[in-house]
Amino acid sequence: MSENINNCCSVEKGALVNCVRISAMDPALIVESTAGLFGTCEKISGIISWINEKSLDDADPSLGVLRSELDSLSQVFVSIHTSFRETSVARCVLLPQTGYEGQHWRNVKRSLDDCKGSLFKLDRFFHPIAKAKRSQAVLQSKAIKAMIRELNLADVQGFKQQITSYRKVLELSQQLIDVY
């Protein structure tokens, strides 16, 4: 294994010869995925921030916790994105992965895909409020507050748990990346 890593890290111009199999864990896809997921997290976090501003004293604390988790997940995406933009890390991750490490990277890919699905659902969940935010000059404050009160807080709690799970898995992945 160390022979493959040495060969990998000594290859010039990012070309990998005789030591790499192309897998579902293409670093370019990870960079692209994390950038897109970061943008989605930031968008949803902004909506929640706006909700908290409009709700004033009526804001539910679970929304603040969800926003905090989204912001933390965003930072993990930035960290992974930055790491995979480093050629040496990207090349080494492309080495054939077996055993626990190989399973880990397959799980990371699945987690990124699942996270994307959950963030899409969360974006849809907040869509009516995002739409109201864009046209806030038309809507009165009472109408906006009524929409906010209609949010199903059990759904918010479920989304928070999902986001927390993705953050924890991806933080572990970042720790493994740091080993490279």
Helix spans in the chain (H): 2-10, 27-55, 61-85, 87-93, 99-125, 127-134, 141-149, 153-179
pLDDT of residue 100: 77
Distance separating alpha carbons of residues 26 and 16, to the nearest angstrom: 13
pLDDT in tens, 1-51: 333 323 333 333 333 233 333 344 566 677 788 889 999 999 999 989 988
pLDDT in tens, 49-76: 988 887 756 677 888 999 999 999 999 9
**For the whole model, what pTM was predicted?**
0.74
pLDDT of residue 16: 29
